[in-house]
Structure formats: structure tokens, C-alpha cells
């Protein structure tokens, strides 16, 4: 893929009009007054039939899985296609377009949406039994319910599994869950929470314990959700803590309803999905900064000339354009791969995330600089994008963790025993 198709452009335009009509006029309420983003996101899903399309696809997939299980067949590994599927590539483009368009004005909104529909529903779809999928996934896909995916704890972030303290203990036919999670997107409002913890059987040492995932209701007794945490940016995405104290759940809440359904591998799939989503977010942020900066450089006059005539200002614009082109090409590669039935492996997704997060941050900092004093003022919007972009270097694995993933794949492509 070397360009957006005409259809892609038209769809982008439709999303852009929606965002400019429904979100931009109220952006301060989301950014500074704590208005949760969910009503407008639901409206967006409804306007574009996105929930219905996702539901139809979910039901088709579930029927295939049900038929497979009735025949006693294991889930088939989907290998790469032998021929390119434009339909699959278009589906990937359609997933990326709302991310790009929302990120131009509110990276927080797309984070709230992505965690609910992508990470939470996605984890239940991959790991849940058919009954669990039927029960929990549909309301998440339409955003009737809000989802949260909780792995990070106060003492375990980058080392998510090694230092994890949250536990599940067997209790009759069910489990008792304890622990604390932090920095959880949608945590304060979530109706459905995927809670990741270790099985404490009283014998196995913590580092060797199985990692399990449970699906919890937001209102479960013993589960307390904090208010939204105050943070540097991403204000349109509520982030909070979860406290679990003796939460009793039945086996029907254990994803996969089997302790053999080890969640470590699935959490890694989720990390990969988060990493690829950052590419489209970075593109939206960089495109918007470049537009704002180009307009400003044409119209802001100093020393009797538009500042765009100064070479140091031109250098900033040129660098922003290079970053925009590179990020867009990486997004096109993702879409092209989807057409071939392939996706990036974890190391490539890490390389993309590292580059795109850093490029977006550099572009935003230069945008603030190009706007001078106005750049430091909220009214000119680049300061919000700058605060928001910083998170791309932190969540979904920090820059430093991406570096180590890339280096490990280079140094030990076959994997390392320890
Ligand atoms: C706005 C926001 C939303 C989030 N949403 C979610 C969510 O929905 N669900 C969820 O579970 N989590 C979420 N997170 C958590 C996020 O994934 C973690 O913050 C992130 O993985 C980093 O973990 P940490 O904050 O504990 O930092 P730490 O792991 O403590 O890292 C501190 C510093 O040490 C560096 N470091 C750590 N280990 C190494 C190493 N081996 N080599 C080199 N440097 C290292 C890090 O790069 C970093 O610079 C969110 C975070 C934010 C900020």
C-alpha cells in the first residue's frame, strides 16, 4: 500500500467531520472538566455502525468456533495467505482510520475506546469459553458496557509477571481474589474488568505460579474502583486504581474455565496489539501538529516576515514531514501485512512503537517551540497534544522495554533459555 484509496479518504473525511462536530467543540470539557468520553464514543460507534459490524463479525467467528468444537477439532492456526486479500487489508484500514482521526484531537478518547473494545473484548474473545464470549463480549463491542484490562500493579509494571502480587486462591468450586492494580484505563467506570493475577496454591513459589485471567463486574462485592487519577495528559481517558479484597467468584469467571488456560502468552498478544495501535495514534498526532504548524508559520509575522521564511522554522516543518511520512509508511505496512494474513512479530511491533512514540514526542515538542509563547498556552492545542503524546513512550511497554525486545530478537533470534 502506498496511499490511502479513494474509499479510505472518504471514510476518513466522514470520521473527521464527526470528530470536528461532536468532540472538538466540547474538547475542554473532556480535557479540563473531567467529562467521561463514553457517551460520545457510543454515539460515534452508532453513527458509523461500527458496533453492529463488529457484532456481526464476532457472531460469524463464534459460529465457526462452535462448529469446530462440535467436530472436536482444535482451533486452527491461521497461517499467512497465499494471495493478497483486499478485503482483509480494507478491514485493517477501517480499524486504523478512527484511531488516526480521533488522535488528531484527543489521543485520550482513542485510548479509552481501544482499551475497552480492543484489549478487554479481545482478551475475552481469545481466551474465553463460548459461553463466556457470548455473555461478556457483545456489550463491549457496542460500548453499551465499558471494559478495562488490568495487569499493572504498584510494584509491577515493566516486569509485569515477575513482580505480580495479585492472587487467586481456590475456594470450593470457585476462587477468592486479592490484589491491587494501578494506572488502569477506564478503571473508574469499567463495567467489565479483565483481572490478571497468579494462582496461589499455597505450595508453588510466586515466580513459578500460573498466571490466570478473570472477568469481573465493576460492581462485584470486595472490588473498589478509585476516582480518576490526576495526570499529565490524556485527560479524556479516565485512569484509576482497583482494590480487590476477598472477591469471591465462581469458576465461570475464570477465562477459559480452566487453570491450564495460562494467561502469560495472551497478555503478550495484548502487548503486541497495543504496540501496533500506537502507530496510528502517532500518525494522527503528527499530522495535526504539522497542519497547525504550517498554518502558523504562514501567518505569524516577526521581523516583518512570516516566520515560515526563517530557515530554522523550515527545518522544524521539514523534520515533521519526514516523521509523518515514515509513520504513515509503517501504518501502510501494517495494513498491507493484514491483506496477506500476517501481522508484525513482537520485535517488529516494538521497533514500530519505539520509533513512532519518539517521533510523535519530538514533533510535539518542536510544535510547541514553533508556536513560541502561544505554544505554551492551552488555546493553541499543541500543548495538549504534547502532554498526550508522552504517554506513547510509557504505556504498552516503555521505550526502554521496546529497546530490549528489539535487541533480544537481534541477539538471540531463537530465544534464550533464561
Ligand atoms: C495513562 C496510562 C494508562 C495506562 N493504562 C493501563 C491499562 O489500561 N492497564 C494496565 O494494566 N496498565 C496500564 N498502564 C500501565 C503501563 O503499562 C505501565 O505504566 C508501563 O508498562 C510502565 O510500567 P511502570 O509504570 O511500572 O514503570 P517501571 O516498570 O517501574 O519503569 C520505570 C523506569 O524504569 C525503566 N525500566 C524498567 N525495567 C527496565 C529494564 N529491564 N531495562 C531498562 N529500563 C527499565 C522503564 O523504562 C522506566 O523508564 C497505563 C499507564 C499509563 C501512564
Beta carbons within 10 angstroms of residue 54's beta carbon? 20
How many angstroms is it from 263 CA to the middle of ligand 1?
Answer: 19
**Do the Cβ atoms of 109 and 102 come closer than 8 Å?**
yes
How many angstroms is it from 207 CA to the middle of ligand 1?
Answer: 20
- Whole-model pTM: value is 0.95
**Do the Cβ atoms of 136 and 215 come closer than 8 Å?**
yes
User: Could you give the CA distance from residue 294 to residue 308 in angstroms, rounded to a whole number?
Assistant: 8
User: Could you give the CA distance from residue 255 to residue 259 in angstroms, rounded to a whole number?
Assistant: 9
115 lines ligand 1 (CB under 6 A): yes
pLDDT of 78: 65
186 lines ligand 1 (CB under 6 A): no
Question: Angle, to 10 degrees, between the axis of helix 264-299 and the axis of helix 311-339?
Answer: 140
Question: Across the chain, which distance is largest between two alpha carbons, in Å?
Answer: 80
pLDDT tens for each residue of the chain, 418 residues long:
999 999 999 999 999 999 999 999 999 999 999 999 999 999 999 999 999 999 999 999 999 988 988 887 776 666 778 899 999 999 999 999 999 999 999 999 999 999 999 999 999 999 999 999 999 999 999 999 999 999 999 999 999 999 999 999 999 999 999 999 999 999 999 999 999 999 999 999 999 999 999 999 999 999 999 999 999 999 999 999 999 999 999 999 999 999 987 777 777 777 777 777 899 999 999 999 999 999 999 999 999 999 999 999 999 999 999 999 999 999 999 999 999 999 999 899 999 999 999 999 999 999 999 999 999 999 999 999 999 999 999 999 999 999 999 999 999 998 876 5
Atom 38 in ligand 1: residue holding the nearest Cα: 158
pLDDT of 186: 98
3-state SS string over the chain? CCCCCHHHHHHHHHHHHHHHHHCHHHHHHHHHCCCCCHHHHHHHHHHCCHHHHHHHHHHHHHHHHHHHHHCCCCCCCCCCCCCCCHHHHHHHHHHHHHHHHHHCCCHHHHHHHHHHHHHHHHHHHHHCCHHHHHHHHHHHHCCCCCEEEECCECCECCCCCCCCCCEEEEECCEEEEEEEEEEEECCCCCCEEEEEEEECCCCCCHHHCCEEEEEEECCCCCEEECCCCCCCCCCCCCEEEEEEEEEEECHHHEHHHCCCCCCHHHHHHHHHHHHHHHHHHHHHHHHHHHHHHHHHHHHCEECCEEHHHCHHHHHHHHHHHHHHHHHHHHHHHHHHHHHCCCCCCHHHHHHHHHHHHHHHHHHHHHHHHHCHHHHHCHHHCHHHHHHHHHHHHCCCCCHHHHHHHHHHHHHCCCCCCC
Q: Enumerate the active-site residues.
A: 274
184 lines ligand 1 (CB under 6 A): yes
**Do the Cβ atoms of 107 and 386 come closer than 8 Å?**
no
The structural domains of the chain, ordered by start, are 6-145 (1.10.540.10), 149-263 (2.40.110.10), 265-411 (1.20.140.10)
How many angstroms is it from 397 CA to the middle of ligand 1?
Answer: 6
271 lines ligand 1 (CB under 6 A): no
**Torsion angle of C-alpha atoms 257, 260, 264, 270, degrees rounded to 10:** -40
212 lines ligand 1 (CB under 6 A): no
The Cβ-side half-sphere exposure at 106, using a 13 Å CA radius, reads 31
Amino acid at each position: 500500500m502506498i496511499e490511502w484509496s479513494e474509499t479510505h479518504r472518504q471514510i476518513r473525511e466522514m470520521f473527521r467531520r464527526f470528530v470536528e462536530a461532536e468532540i472538538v467543540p466540547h474538547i475542554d470539557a473532556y480535557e479540563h472538566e473531567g467529562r467521561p468520553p463514553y457517551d460520545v464514543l457510543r454515539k460515534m460507534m452508532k453513527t458509523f455502525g461500527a458496533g453492529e459490524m463488529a457484532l456481526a463479525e464476532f457472531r460469524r467467528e463464534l459460529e465457526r468456533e462452535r462448529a469446530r468444537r462440535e467436530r472436536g477439532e482444535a482451533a486452527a492456526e491461521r497461517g499467512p495467505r497465499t494471495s493478497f486479500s483486499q478485503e482483509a487489508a480494507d478491514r485493517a484500514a477501517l480499524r486504523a482510520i478512527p484511531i488516526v482521526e480521533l488522535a488528531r484531537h484527543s489521543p485520550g478518547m482513542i485510548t479509552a475506546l481501544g482499551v475497552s473494545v480492543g484489549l478487554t473484548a479481545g482478551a475475552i474473545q481469545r481466551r474465553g469459553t463460548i459461553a463466556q464470549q457470548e455473555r461478556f463480549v457483545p456489550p463491549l463491542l457496542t460500548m453499551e458496557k465499558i471494559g478495562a484490562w488490568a495487569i499493572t500493579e504498584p510494584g509491577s509494571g515493566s516486569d509485569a509477571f515477575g513482580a505480580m502480587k495479585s492472587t487467586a486462591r481456590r475456594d470450593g468450586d470457585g476462587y477468592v481474589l486479592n490484589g491491587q492494580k494501578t494506572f488502569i484505563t477506564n478503571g473508574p467506570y469499567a463495567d467489565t474488568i479483565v483481572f490478571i493475577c497468579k494462582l496461589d496454591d499455597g505450595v508453588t513459589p510466586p515466580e513459578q505460579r500460573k498466571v490466570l485471567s478473570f472477568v469481573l463486574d465493576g460492581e462485584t462485592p470486595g472490588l473498589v474502583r478509585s476516582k480518576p487519577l490526576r495526570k499529565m495528559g490524556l485527560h479524556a481517558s479516565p485512569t484509576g486504581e482497583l482494590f480487590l479484597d476477598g472477591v469471591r467468584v465462581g469458576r465461570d469467571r475464570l477465562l477459559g474455565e480452566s487453570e491450564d488456560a495460562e494467561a502469560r502468552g495472551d497478555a503478550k498478544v495484548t502487548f503486541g496489539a497495543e504496540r501496533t495501535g500506537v502507530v496510528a495514534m502517532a500518525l494522527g498526532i503528527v499530522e495535526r501538529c504539522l497542519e497547525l504548524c504550517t498554518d502558523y508559520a504562514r501567518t505569524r509575522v516577526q521581523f516583518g516576515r512570516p516566520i515560515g521564511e526563517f530557515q530554522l522554522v523550515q527545518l522544524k516543518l521539514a523534520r515533521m514531514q519526514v516523521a509523518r511520512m515514515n509513520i504513515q509508511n509503517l501504518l501502510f505496512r501494517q495494513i498491507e501485512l493484514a491483506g496477506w494474513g500476517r501481522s508484525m512479530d513482537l520485535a517488529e511491533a516494538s521497533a514500530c512503537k519505539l520509533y513512532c512514540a519518539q517521533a510523535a514526542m519530538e514533533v510535539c515538542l518542536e510544535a510547541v517551540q514553533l508556536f513560541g509563547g502561544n505554544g505554551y498556552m492551552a488555546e493553541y492545542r499543541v500543548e495538549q497534544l504534547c502532554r498526550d503524546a508522552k504517554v506513547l513512550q510509557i504505556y504498552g511497554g516503555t521505550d526502554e522495554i521496546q529497546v530490549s525486545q528489539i535487541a533480544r530478537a537481534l541477539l538471540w533470534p531463537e530465544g534464550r533459555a533464561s
